[in-house]
Chains A and B, each alone.
Chain A
Amino acid sequence: MLHIVNKSPYEKNSLTSCLAHAVKGGALLLIEDAVYGATKGNVAEGAIRRALADLPVYALGPDLDARGMQGNVIEGVKVVDFGGFVDLVAEHRTSQSWL
């Protein structure tokens, strides 16, 4: 299962709820305002670091760039481009968007 989150952790509880339902073998992709969650000092930093022990975490590069956050990504989070986004969707049997 590929879990996709697009909301800022300060704006909605989508990431928290997603992480409570993501199991090993899955993956997490942060896009749009959710990429802030992949940055150091964000309220979600601890949750993301804990999640990394169980599942790969990806953040969409163009969304990080647009927000000036490209140099502030938590170690272990992999940055992907739009092609990588498509690959992730193709690699997983199902995708779930946590809006």
Chain B
Amino acid sequence: MAQVAEALEQEQDAQSVVKKFMFVNRKAPYGTIYALEGLEVVLISAAFDQDVSLAFLDDGVYQLVKGQQTKGLEVKNFSPTYRALEGYDVEKLYVERESLEARGLREDQLLVPVQVVSAQEMAQLMEQQDVIIGF
């Protein structure tokens, strides 16, 4: 995480240009720490005024499912944080249609407004980035 912050800072100092950062989320929440750690890094990156977007594909689409209740597991429910991203000017959330469909999920089951895109469109979005960080 510190490395990412440092990289972001160096980018900014060196060129003072806005770069396109994409965070690619491919893991389900809670089973591993990736989803939560990824979200933390996104929040840090938002502080550096970069052009940030989030991609959700494969099991990563499960991160955005509505109705997460973690009381029984006694772990932090970090799903409300996705709704707060807008306040940090992180507004580009892309969800891959194929990944939703493969899991029997619909867009209306997600807890935040997203752009649902095809795998082909997702690939194009990835091609447009300057930096891609995967979780």
Q: Which residues of A contact B (CB under 8 A)?
A: 6-8, 10-11, 32-33, 36, 39-43, 45, 61-63, 65-72, 81-82
The answer, yes or no, to whether B103 is at the interface (CB within 8 Å) is yes
The number of inter-chain residue pairs (CB within 8 angstroms) is 74
What class of interface size applies to chain B in its complex with A?
20 to 34
CA A85 – CA B104 in complex, angstroms? 27
The answer, yes or no, to whether B105 is at the interface (CB within 8 Å) is yes
Q: Which residues of B contact A41 (CB under 8 A)?
A: 103-105
In the complex, how many angstroms separate the beta carbon of A37 from the nearest chain B beta carbon? 11
Q: Which of A33, A36, A41, A66 has the most CB of B within 10 A?
A: A66
Asked if residues B58 and A10 are in contact (CB atoms below 8 Å), the reply is: yes
Asked if residues A67 and B58 are in contact (CB atoms below 8 Å), the reply is: no
Asked if residues B59 and A8 are in contact (CB atoms below 8 Å), the reply is: yes
Asked if residues B67 and A42 are in contact (CB atoms below 8 Å), the reply is: no
Q: Which residue of B31, B58, B65 contacts A68 across the interface (Cβ within 8 Å)? A: B65
A-contact bits for B9-53, CB 8 A (1 contact / 0 none) = 000000000000000000111111000000000000000000000
Asked if residues A10 and B69 are in contact (CB atoms below 8 Å), the reply is: no
Given contacts A33-B59, A43-B103, A68-B67, 4 further A-B pairs with CB under 8 A are A63-B73, A65-B73, A67-B30, A67-B62
Asked if residues A42 and B72 are in contact (CB atoms below 8 Å), the reply is: no
Which chain A residue has the least Cβ–Cβ distance from B75?
A66
Q: Which residues of A contact B105 (CB under 8 A)?
A: 41
In the complex, how many angstroms separate the beta carbon of A34 from the nearest chain B beta carbon? 8
Given A39-B104, A62-B73, A66-B75, A33-B30 contact (CB < 8 Å): yes
Asked if residues B62 and A66 are in contact (CB atoms below 8 Å), the reply is: no
Q: Which residues of A contact B62 (CB under 8 A)?
A: 36, 67
In the complex, how many angstroms separate the beta carbon of B74 from the nearest chain A beta carbon? 9
Q: Which residues of A contact B129 (CB under 8 A)?
A: none
Asked if residues A40 and B104 are in contact (CB atoms below 8 Å), the reply is: yes
In the complex, how many angstroms separate the beta carbon of B46 from the nearest chain A beta carbon? 25
The answer, yes or no, to whether B83 is at the interface (CB within 8 Å) is no
In the complex, how many angstroms separate the beta carbon of B99 from the nearest chain A beta carbon? 9
